[in-house]
Chains A and B, each alone.
Chain A
Amino acid sequence: MSDVVVVDYGAGNTRSVRAALTHLGKSSVVLSDPTAILEADFVVLPGVGSARSAMEHLNQTGAADALRTRFDNGGATLGICLGMQLALTTSEEDGGVTCLGLLKGDVRRLQADRVPRLGWANVDPWNESFYFAHSFVGQSPDTVATSDGFCVAVRNGSFFGVQFHPEKSGDAGLNFLEQCLTLV
Protein backbone atom coordinates (compact mmCIF):
# COMPACT_ATOMS: atom_id res chain seq x y z
CA MET A 1 0.00 0.00 0.00
CA SER A 2 1.15 3.52 -0.80
CA ASP A 3 2.14 5.85 2.02
CA VAL A 4 0.00 8.74 0.83
CA VAL A 5 -3.30 9.05 -1.03
CA VAL A 6 -3.53 12.19 -3.16
CA VAL A 7 -7.22 12.81 -3.73
CA ASP A 8 -8.21 13.00 -7.39
CA TYR A 9 -10.86 15.48 -8.29
CA GLY A 10 -10.77 15.30 -11.99
CA ALA A 11 -8.47 18.04 -13.26
CA GLY A 12 -5.07 19.54 -12.96
CA ASN A 13 -1.56 19.05 -11.80
CA THR A 14 -1.04 16.43 -9.10
CA ARG A 15 2.38 15.52 -10.43
CA SER A 16 4.24 18.20 -8.43
CA VAL A 17 2.75 17.07 -5.11
CA ARG A 18 3.67 13.48 -5.87
CA ALA A 19 7.19 14.51 -6.91
CA ALA A 20 7.66 16.32 -3.59
CA LEU A 21 6.41 13.26 -1.69
CA THR A 22 8.75 11.02 -3.67
CA HIS A 23 11.58 13.37 -2.76
CA LEU A 24 10.70 12.78 0.90
CA GLY A 25 10.73 9.03 0.37
CA LYS A 26 6.96 8.57 0.37
CA SER A 27 5.07 6.60 -2.26
CA SER A 28 1.73 7.99 -3.38
CA VAL A 29 -1.32 7.21 -5.49
CA VAL A 30 -3.88 9.55 -7.02
CA LEU A 31 -7.43 8.32 -6.57
CA SER A 32 -10.90 9.16 -5.30
CA ASP A 33 -11.89 5.73 -3.95
CA PRO A 34 -13.65 6.25 -0.56
CA THR A 35 -12.23 3.11 1.07
CA ALA A 36 -8.67 4.03 0.17
CA ILE A 37 -9.23 7.56 1.51
CA LEU A 38 -10.54 6.14 4.79
CA GLU A 39 -7.71 3.66 5.22
CA ALA A 40 -4.72 5.75 4.10
CA ASP A 41 -2.07 6.75 6.64
CA PHE A 42 -1.96 10.21 5.15
CA VAL A 43 -4.21 12.02 2.67
CA VAL A 44 -3.42 15.09 0.59
CA LEU A 45 -6.26 17.15 -0.82
CA PRO A 46 -4.37 19.01 -3.54
CA GLY A 47 -4.96 22.47 -4.95
CA VAL A 48 -6.19 22.30 -8.49
CA GLY A 49 -9.23 23.37 -10.48
CA SER A 50 -12.29 25.29 -9.33
CA ALA A 51 -14.35 24.85 -6.15
CA ARG A 52 -17.57 23.81 -7.91
CA SER A 53 -16.09 21.16 -10.18
CA ALA A 54 -13.93 19.84 -7.34
CA MET A 55 -16.88 19.48 -4.93
CA GLU A 56 -19.05 17.89 -7.66
CA HIS A 57 -16.35 15.33 -8.29
CA LEU A 58 -15.81 14.66 -4.57
CA ASN A 59 -19.56 14.27 -3.98
CA GLN A 60 -20.11 11.98 -6.98
CA THR A 61 -17.27 9.64 -6.12
CA GLY A 62 -18.13 9.44 -2.42
CA ALA A 63 -14.75 10.96 -1.60
CA ALA A 64 -16.46 13.89 0.19
CA ASP A 65 -18.16 11.62 2.75
CA ALA A 66 -14.99 9.56 3.11
CA LEU A 67 -13.01 12.73 3.89
CA ARG A 68 -15.59 13.74 6.54
CA THR A 69 -15.55 10.30 8.17
CA ARG A 70 -11.77 10.22 8.02
CA PHE A 71 -11.69 13.59 9.78
CA ASP A 72 -14.07 12.35 12.50
CA ASN A 73 -11.82 9.29 12.94
CA GLY A 74 -8.74 11.49 13.39
CA GLY A 75 -7.01 10.51 10.13
CA ALA A 76 -4.28 12.97 9.14
CA THR A 77 -5.18 15.06 6.10
CA LEU A 78 -3.37 17.98 4.48
CA GLY A 79 -5.31 20.41 2.26
CA ILE A 80 -3.29 22.52 -0.17
CA CYS A 81 -4.60 25.77 -1.69
CA LEU A 82 -8.07 24.93 -3.02
CA GLY A 83 -7.80 21.77 -0.90
CA MET A 84 -7.62 23.93 2.22
CA GLN A 85 -10.55 26.07 1.07
CA LEU A 86 -12.67 22.97 0.40
CA ALA A 87 -12.33 21.96 4.05
CA LEU A 88 -14.24 25.07 5.14
CA THR A 89 -18.04 25.41 5.12
CA THR A 90 -18.82 27.39 2.00
CA SER A 91 -17.06 29.20 -0.83
CA GLU A 92 -18.08 32.30 -2.76
CA GLU A 93 -16.33 30.89 -5.84
CA ASP A 94 -18.44 29.92 -8.88
CA GLY A 95 -21.55 31.65 -7.49
CA GLY A 96 -21.47 29.82 -4.14
CA VAL A 97 -20.43 26.26 -3.31
CA THR A 98 -21.08 24.08 -0.26
CA CYS A 99 -17.74 22.66 0.84
CA LEU A 100 -16.73 19.79 3.13
CA GLY A 101 -17.32 21.66 6.38
CA LEU A 102 -14.51 20.00 8.35
CA LEU A 103 -13.64 23.41 9.81
CA LYS A 104 -15.68 26.48 10.55
CA GLY A 105 -15.19 29.40 8.20
CA ASP A 106 -15.80 30.38 4.62
CA VAL A 107 -13.99 31.35 1.45
CA ARG A 108 -14.28 34.77 -0.15
CA ARG A 109 -12.89 36.57 -3.16
CA LEU A 110 -9.49 38.00 -2.29
CA GLN A 111 -9.37 41.76 -1.80
CA ALA A 112 -5.77 42.67 -2.52
CA ASP A 113 -3.74 45.12 -4.56
CA ARG A 114 -3.22 42.50 -7.26
CA VAL A 115 -5.41 39.44 -7.77
CA PRO A 116 -4.45 36.65 -8.28
CA ARG A 117 -1.99 37.00 -5.42
CA LEU A 118 1.06 35.43 -7.05
CA GLY A 119 4.50 34.79 -5.71
CA TRP A 120 6.50 34.12 -2.58
CA ALA A 121 5.35 35.75 0.64
CA ASN A 122 6.27 35.54 4.28
CA VAL A 123 4.03 33.52 6.60
CA ASP A 124 3.55 34.65 10.20
CA PRO A 125 4.34 33.54 12.83
CA TRP A 126 6.47 30.90 11.11
CA ASN A 127 8.73 33.53 9.55
CA GLU A 128 9.20 31.47 6.40
CA SER A 129 8.41 32.25 2.75
CA PHE A 130 6.17 30.05 0.63
CA TYR A 131 4.71 30.28 -2.87
CA PHE A 132 1.13 31.48 -3.31
CA ALA A 133 -1.18 31.57 -6.34
CA HIS A 134 -4.75 32.38 -5.36
CA SER A 135 -7.77 34.58 -6.08
CA PHE A 136 -9.85 33.41 -3.12
CA VAL A 137 -9.02 33.24 0.57
CA GLY A 138 -10.46 31.53 3.61
CA GLN A 139 -11.41 33.01 6.95
CA SER A 140 -11.72 30.73 9.91
CA PRO A 141 -11.58 30.69 13.70
CA ASP A 142 -9.13 27.80 13.23
CA THR A 143 -6.54 30.05 11.56
CA VAL A 144 -2.99 29.24 12.72
CA ALA A 145 -0.93 31.39 10.32
CA THR A 146 -1.36 34.49 8.18
CA SER A 147 0.38 36.24 5.29
CA ASP A 148 -0.18 39.94 4.56
CA GLY A 149 -2.97 39.58 7.13
CA PHE A 150 -4.78 36.83 5.17
CA CYS A 151 -5.61 33.45 6.67
CA VAL A 152 -3.12 31.06 5.04
CA ALA A 153 -3.12 28.07 7.38
CA VAL A 154 -5.91 26.39 9.34
CA ARG A 155 -5.82 23.48 11.73
CA ASN A 156 -8.47 21.53 13.51
CA GLY A 157 -7.64 18.14 15.00
CA SER A 158 -6.21 15.94 12.28
CA PHE A 159 -6.83 18.39 9.43
CA PHE A 160 -4.12 20.83 8.42
CA GLY A 161 -4.78 23.22 5.54
CA VAL A 162 -2.45 25.70 3.87
CA GLN A 163 -3.14 28.31 1.21
CA PHE A 164 0.40 28.17 -0.17
CA HIS A 165 1.93 25.41 -2.27
CA PRO A 166 4.51 23.51 -0.20
CA GLU A 167 5.32 21.40 -3.27
CA LYS A 168 6.36 24.62 -5.07
CA SER A 169 8.12 26.33 -2.19
CA GLY A 170 11.62 24.93 -2.44
CA ASP A 171 13.31 23.63 0.70
CA ALA A 172 10.94 25.50 3.02
CA GLY A 173 8.04 23.69 1.39
CA LEU A 174 9.71 20.29 1.59
CA ASN A 175 10.49 20.84 5.28
CA PHE A 176 6.89 21.81 5.91
CA LEU A 177 5.60 18.70 4.10
CA GLU A 178 7.99 16.51 6.03
CA GLN A 179 6.72 17.89 9.32
CA CYS A 180 3.12 17.34 8.23
CA LEU A 181 3.90 13.71 7.45
CA THR A 182 5.05 13.18 11.02
CA LEU A 183 1.52 14.03 12.20
CA VAL A 184 0.43 10.52 11.22
Chain B
Amino acid sequence: MPYSRLIPCLDVANGRVVKGVSFVGLRDVGDPVELAKFYSDGGADELVFLDITATPEGAKTMTSVVAQVADVLEIPFTVGGGIRTVDDASRIIEAGADRVSLNSAALSNPELISEIAELFGSQAVVVAIDAGDGVVHTHGGRNATEIKTVPWAIEAASRGAGEILLTSIRQDGQRTGFDLELTRQVREAISIPVIASGGAGNAQHVVDALRITDAALIASIVHENPSGLKGLRAEIESLGITLRPLKEKA
Protein backbone atom coordinates (compact mmCIF):
# COMPACT_ATOMS: atom_id res chain seq x y z
CA MET B 1 0.00 0.00 0.00
CA PRO B 2 1.18 3.53 -0.68
CA TYR B 3 1.79 5.68 2.39
CA SER B 4 -1.09 7.62 3.95
CA ARG B 5 -1.25 11.10 2.43
CA LEU B 6 -1.47 14.49 4.08
CA ILE B 7 -2.95 17.07 1.70
CA PRO B 8 -3.10 20.80 2.50
CA CYS B 9 -5.94 22.57 0.69
CA LEU B 10 -5.63 26.16 -0.50
CA ASP B 11 -8.63 28.30 -1.39
CA VAL B 12 -7.83 30.66 -4.24
CA ALA B 13 -9.83 33.71 -5.35
CA ASN B 14 -8.71 35.88 -8.26
CA GLY B 15 -5.28 34.31 -8.17
CA ARG B 16 -4.74 34.89 -4.45
CA VAL B 17 -4.85 32.49 -1.52
CA VAL B 18 -7.66 33.46 0.81
CA LYS B 19 -8.85 32.32 4.19
CA GLY B 20 -6.71 32.41 7.25
CA VAL B 21 -3.16 31.71 6.19
CA SER B 22 -0.78 33.08 8.81
CA PHE B 23 2.31 34.88 7.67
CA VAL B 24 5.00 33.00 9.56
CA GLY B 25 8.02 32.65 7.31
CA LEU B 26 6.22 33.77 4.20
CA ARG B 27 7.09 36.81 2.13
CA ASP B 28 3.62 37.00 0.61
CA VAL B 29 0.92 34.86 2.25
CA GLY B 30 -1.47 35.48 -0.61
CA ASP B 31 0.81 34.08 -3.29
CA PRO B 32 -0.32 30.54 -4.19
CA VAL B 33 3.01 29.73 -5.80
CA GLU B 34 5.08 30.67 -2.76
CA LEU B 35 2.73 28.93 -0.34
CA ALA B 36 2.64 25.78 -2.51
CA LYS B 37 6.41 25.60 -2.52
CA PHE B 38 6.49 26.22 1.21
CA TYR B 39 4.09 23.34 1.95
CA SER B 40 5.91 21.09 -0.49
CA ASP B 41 9.20 21.77 1.31
CA GLY B 42 7.42 21.16 4.61
CA GLY B 43 6.43 17.64 3.63
CA ALA B 44 2.98 17.89 2.02
CA ASP B 45 2.35 14.73 0.00
CA GLU B 46 0.07 16.54 -2.44
CA LEU B 47 -1.80 19.82 -2.63
CA VAL B 48 -5.35 20.78 -3.54
CA PHE B 49 -6.22 24.20 -4.94
CA LEU B 50 -9.86 25.23 -4.89
CA ASP B 51 -10.83 28.14 -7.10
CA ILE B 52 -13.64 29.75 -5.14
CA THR B 53 -14.13 32.54 -7.68
CA ALA B 54 -15.97 30.42 -10.26
CA THR B 55 -16.25 33.24 -12.80
CA PRO B 56 -14.90 33.22 -16.37
CA GLU B 57 -12.36 35.86 -15.39
CA GLY B 58 -11.38 33.81 -12.33
CA ALA B 59 -10.94 30.69 -14.46
CA LYS B 60 -8.43 32.51 -16.67
CA THR B 61 -6.46 33.66 -13.66
CA MET B 62 -6.59 30.14 -12.19
CA THR B 63 -5.09 28.64 -15.35
CA SER B 64 -2.16 31.00 -15.09
CA VAL B 65 -1.74 30.17 -11.38
CA VAL B 66 -1.74 26.45 -12.25
CA ALA B 67 1.01 26.95 -14.82
CA GLN B 68 3.14 28.93 -12.38
CA VAL B 69 2.65 26.31 -9.66
CA ALA B 70 3.52 23.46 -12.05
CA ASP B 71 6.79 25.17 -12.91
CA VAL B 72 8.04 25.16 -9.32
CA LEU B 73 6.26 22.26 -7.61
CA GLU B 74 7.67 18.74 -7.68
CA ILE B 75 4.74 17.07 -5.92
CA PRO B 76 1.32 16.35 -7.42
CA PHE B 77 -1.56 18.78 -7.18
CA THR B 78 -5.29 18.76 -7.81
CA VAL B 79 -7.35 21.74 -8.97
CA GLY B 80 -11.06 22.14 -8.31
CA GLY B 81 -13.71 24.83 -8.56
CA GLY B 82 -15.50 25.93 -11.68
CA ILE B 83 -14.58 22.92 -13.83
CA ARG B 84 -17.78 22.33 -15.78
CA THR B 85 -16.69 20.89 -19.13
CA VAL B 86 -14.08 18.60 -20.67
CA ASP B 87 -12.46 21.73 -22.11
CA ASP B 88 -12.18 23.25 -18.63
CA ALA B 89 -10.49 20.09 -17.40
CA SER B 90 -8.13 19.93 -20.40
CA ARG B 91 -7.14 23.55 -19.89
CA ILE B 92 -6.25 22.92 -16.24
CA ILE B 93 -4.42 19.63 -16.89
CA GLU B 94 -2.51 20.99 -19.87
CA ALA B 95 -1.46 23.94 -17.69
CA GLY B 96 0.23 21.39 -15.41
CA ALA B 97 -2.26 20.09 -12.83
CA ASP B 98 -2.19 16.35 -12.19
CA ARG B 99 -5.83 16.01 -11.39
CA VAL B 100 -9.06 17.94 -11.54
CA SER B 101 -11.73 17.85 -8.87
CA LEU B 102 -15.35 17.91 -9.99
CA ASN B 103 -18.20 18.84 -7.70
CA SER B 104 -21.59 20.22 -8.78
CA ALA B 105 -20.83 19.82 -12.50
CA ALA B 106 -20.51 16.06 -11.97
CA LEU B 107 -23.86 16.01 -10.18
CA SER B 108 -25.68 17.80 -12.99
CA ASN B 109 -23.77 15.93 -15.70
CA PRO B 110 -22.32 12.61 -14.42
CA GLU B 111 -21.14 11.79 -17.96
CA LEU B 112 -18.45 14.46 -17.45
CA ILE B 113 -16.63 12.07 -15.09
CA SER B 114 -16.31 9.37 -17.77
CA GLU B 115 -15.39 11.82 -20.49
CA ILE B 116 -12.46 13.25 -18.55
CA ALA B 117 -11.40 9.80 -17.31
CA GLU B 118 -11.32 8.47 -20.88
CA LEU B 119 -9.15 11.34 -22.02
CA PHE B 120 -6.70 11.56 -19.12
CA GLY B 121 -7.20 8.35 -17.12
CA SER B 122 -9.14 7.75 -13.90
CA GLN B 123 -6.24 8.92 -11.77
CA ALA B 124 -6.81 12.43 -13.15
CA VAL B 125 -10.42 12.69 -11.93
CA VAL B 126 -11.35 13.43 -8.34
CA VAL B 127 -15.04 13.71 -7.46
CA ALA B 128 -15.63 16.02 -4.51
CA ILE B 129 -18.70 15.22 -2.41
CA ASP B 130 -20.01 17.67 0.18
CA ALA B 131 -22.02 15.38 2.42
CA GLY B 132 -24.42 16.00 5.28
CA ASP B 133 -27.44 14.17 6.74
CA GLY B 134 -26.95 11.34 4.27
CA VAL B 135 -27.30 13.50 1.17
CA VAL B 136 -25.03 15.43 -1.18
CA HIS B 137 -24.98 19.22 -0.88
CA THR B 138 -24.08 21.92 -3.38
CA HIS B 139 -23.03 25.59 -3.16
CA GLY B 140 -20.41 25.03 -0.51
CA GLY B 141 -22.77 22.94 1.60
CA ARG B 142 -25.67 25.42 1.64
CA ASN B 143 -28.09 23.52 -0.60
CA ALA B 144 -29.15 19.95 0.10
CA THR B 145 -29.94 17.77 -2.91
CA GLU B 146 -32.00 14.57 -2.85
CA ILE B 147 -29.00 12.52 -3.97
CA LYS B 148 -27.86 10.05 -1.31
CA THR B 149 -24.16 10.21 -0.46
CA VAL B 150 -23.12 6.56 -0.64
CA PRO B 151 -24.96 5.71 -3.90
CA TRP B 152 -23.48 8.84 -5.49
CA ALA B 153 -19.96 7.80 -4.46
CA ILE B 154 -20.60 4.37 -6.00
CA GLU B 155 -21.87 5.94 -9.22
CA ALA B 156 -18.92 8.34 -9.43
CA ALA B 157 -16.49 5.44 -9.00
CA SER B 158 -18.25 3.32 -11.60
CA ARG B 159 -18.15 6.21 -14.06
CA GLY B 160 -14.38 6.42 -13.79
CA ALA B 161 -13.56 8.70 -10.87
CA GLY B 162 -10.12 7.87 -9.49
CA GLU B 163 -10.68 9.23 -6.00
CA ILE B 164 -13.41 10.68 -3.80
CA LEU B 165 -12.77 13.88 -1.85
CA LEU B 166 -15.33 13.50 0.90
CA THR B 167 -16.16 16.59 2.97
CA SER B 168 -18.45 16.44 5.96
CA ILE B 169 -20.30 19.76 5.91
CA ARG B 170 -21.21 19.25 9.56
CA GLN B 171 -17.57 18.94 10.61
CA ASP B 172 -16.03 21.37 8.13
CA GLY B 173 -14.40 24.28 9.95
CA GLN B 174 -15.30 22.87 13.40
CA ARG B 175 -11.84 21.46 14.18
CA THR B 176 -13.39 18.72 16.31
CA GLY B 177 -12.32 15.78 14.14
CA PHE B 178 -13.37 14.18 10.88
CA ASP B 179 -16.71 12.45 10.40
CA LEU B 180 -15.29 8.95 10.72
CA GLU B 181 -18.58 7.13 10.32
CA LEU B 182 -19.32 8.90 7.03
CA THR B 183 -15.77 8.27 5.82
CA ARG B 184 -15.96 4.58 6.70
CA GLN B 185 -19.36 4.12 5.02
CA VAL B 186 -18.24 5.70 1.76
CA ARG B 187 -14.87 3.97 1.67
CA GLU B 188 -16.35 0.54 2.32
CA ALA B 189 -18.83 1.00 -0.54
CA ILE B 190 -16.20 1.64 -3.23
CA SER B 191 -12.74 0.41 -4.23
CA ILE B 192 -11.13 3.72 -5.23
CA PRO B 193 -9.24 5.75 -2.59
CA VAL B 194 -11.03 8.30 -0.40
CA ILE B 195 -9.68 11.60 0.99
CA ALA B 196 -11.33 12.53 4.28
CA SER B 197 -12.05 16.24 4.60
CA GLY B 198 -13.57 18.58 7.16
CA GLY B 199 -12.79 18.79 10.83
CA ALA B 200 -9.04 18.40 11.32
CA GLY B 201 -8.09 20.25 14.49
CA ASN B 202 -5.09 18.29 15.73
CA ALA B 203 -2.75 15.42 14.92
CA GLN B 204 -4.96 12.85 16.66
CA HIS B 205 -7.90 13.78 14.40
CA VAL B 206 -5.75 13.17 11.34
CA VAL B 207 -4.51 9.88 12.77
CA ASP B 208 -8.10 8.73 13.43
CA ALA B 209 -8.99 9.46 9.81
CA LEU B 210 -5.87 7.84 8.36
CA ARG B 211 -6.60 4.64 10.26
CA ILE B 212 -9.71 4.17 8.14
CA THR B 213 -8.92 5.90 4.87
CA ASP B 214 -6.21 6.76 2.37
CA ALA B 215 -5.61 10.47 2.79
CA ALA B 216 -6.62 13.49 4.88
CA LEU B 217 -7.25 17.02 3.67
CA ILE B 218 -6.06 19.71 6.06
CA ALA B 219 -6.67 23.45 5.96
CA SER B 220 -6.83 25.77 8.98
CA ILE B 221 -4.65 23.43 11.09
CA VAL B 222 -1.71 24.20 8.77
CA HIS B 223 -2.68 27.64 7.51
CA GLU B 224 -2.50 29.03 11.03
CA ASN B 225 1.09 27.91 11.25
CA PRO B 226 2.48 26.92 7.85
CA SER B 227 5.90 26.14 9.28
CA GLY B 228 4.27 23.65 11.66
CA LEU B 229 3.62 21.09 8.94
CA LYS B 230 6.81 19.16 9.68
CA GLY B 231 5.92 19.05 13.38
CA LEU B 232 2.42 17.88 12.57
CA ARG B 233 3.84 15.07 10.45
CA ALA B 234 6.16 14.03 13.26
CA GLU B 235 3.28 14.04 15.74
CA ILE B 236 1.12 11.93 13.42
CA GLU B 237 3.97 9.45 13.04
CA SER B 238 4.50 9.29 16.81
CA LEU B 239 0.82 8.36 17.10
CA GLY B 240 1.37 5.35 14.88
CA ILE B 241 0.70 6.33 11.25
CA THR B 242 3.63 5.86 8.88
CA LEU B 243 4.03 8.72 6.42
CA ARG B 244 6.49 8.79 3.56
CA PRO B 245 10.07 9.36 4.71
CA LEU B 246 11.28 12.90 4.04
CA LYS B 247 14.84 13.56 2.99
CA GLU B 248 16.54 16.41 4.79
CA LYS B 249 17.68 19.04 2.32
CA ALA B 250 21.44 19.02 1.90
Interface on A for B, CB 8 Å cutoff? 11-13, 15-16, 19-20, 22-23, 48-50, 53, 82, 113-121, 129, 131-135, 148, 165, 167-174
Main SS at interface, chain B: loop
The answer to whether A116 touches B192 (Cβ under 8 A) is yes
- Chain B's closest residue to A114 (CB) is B193
Map CB proximity to A onto B1-40 as digits: 1 under 8 Å, 0 otherwise.
Answer: 1111100000000000000000000000000000000001
Query: A114: which B residues are within 8 A, CB to CB?
Result: 1, 191-193, 214
The answer to whether A168 touches B3 (Cβ under 8 A) is no
- Complex interface: stretch among B48-56, B65-73, B172-180: B65-73
Query: A173: which B residues are within 8 A, CB to CB?
Result: 74
The answer to whether B71 touches A15 (Cβ under 8 A) is yes
Interface on B for A, CB 8 Å cutoff? 1-5, 40, 45-46, 67, 70-72, 74-76, 90, 93-99, 118-123, 162-163, 191-193, 214-215, 244-245, 247, 249
Q: How far is the CA of A148 from the CA of B67 in the complex (A)?
A: 33
The answer to whether B75 touches A170 (Cβ under 8 A) is yes
The answer to whether A13 touches B98 (Cβ under 8 A) is yes
| Known interface pairs A12-B93, A171-B249; A121-B3 also in contact (CB < 8 Å) | yes
- Chain B's closest residue to A14 (CB) is B94
Q: What is the distance, in angstroms, from B90's C-beta to the closest C-beta of chain A?
A: 8
The answer to whether A129 touches B74 (Cβ under 8 A) is no
The answer to whether A133 touches B94 (Cβ under 8 A) is no
The answer to whether A113 touches B97 (Cβ under 8 A) is no
Q: How far is the CA of A73 from the CA of B247 in the complex (A)?
A: 37
The answer to whether B3 touches A119 (Cβ under 8 A) is yes
- Chain B's closest residue to A15 (CB) is B96
- Chain A's closest residue to B99 (CB) is A133
Q: How far is the CA of A135 from the CA of B193 in the complex (A)?
A: 12
| Known contacts A119-B45, A119-B46; 12 further A-B pairs (Cβ under 8 A) | A11-B120, A12-B94, A19-B70, A19-B96, A50-B118, A53-B119, A115-B192, A148-B1, A165-B76, A170-B75, A171-B247, A173-B74
Query: A172: which B residues are within 8 A, CB to CB?
Result: 247
Q: How far is the CA of A118 from the CA of B121 in the complex (A)?
A: 13
The answer to whether A170 touches B74 (Cβ under 8 A) is yes
The answer to whether B2 touches A132 (Cβ under 8 A) is yes
A-B contact pairs, 16 of them (CB 8 A): A13-B93, A13-B98, A15-B94, A23-B74, A48-B120, A50-B118, A114-B193, A116-B163, A117-B2, A118-B214, A119-B4, A119-B46, A121-B1, A133-B98, A148-B1, A170-B40
Query: A129: which B residues are within 8 A, CB to CB?
Result: 3, 244-245
Query: B215: which A residues are within 8 A, CB to CB?
Result: 119
Q: What is the distance, in angstroms, from B206's C-beta to the closest C-beta of chain A?
A: 15
| Known interface pairs A12-B94, A15-B67, A15-B94; A49-B74 also in contact (CB < 8 Å) | no
| Known interface pairs A50-B118, A134-B123; A13-B247 also in contact (CB < 8 Å) | no
The answer to whether B193 touches A167 (Cβ under 8 A) is no
- Chain B's closest residue to A135 (CB) is B122
- Chain A's closest residue to B248 (CB) is A171
Q: Which of B67, B98, B245, B247 contacts A168 (CB 8 A)?
A: B98
The answer to whether B97 touches A13 (Cβ under 8 A) is yes
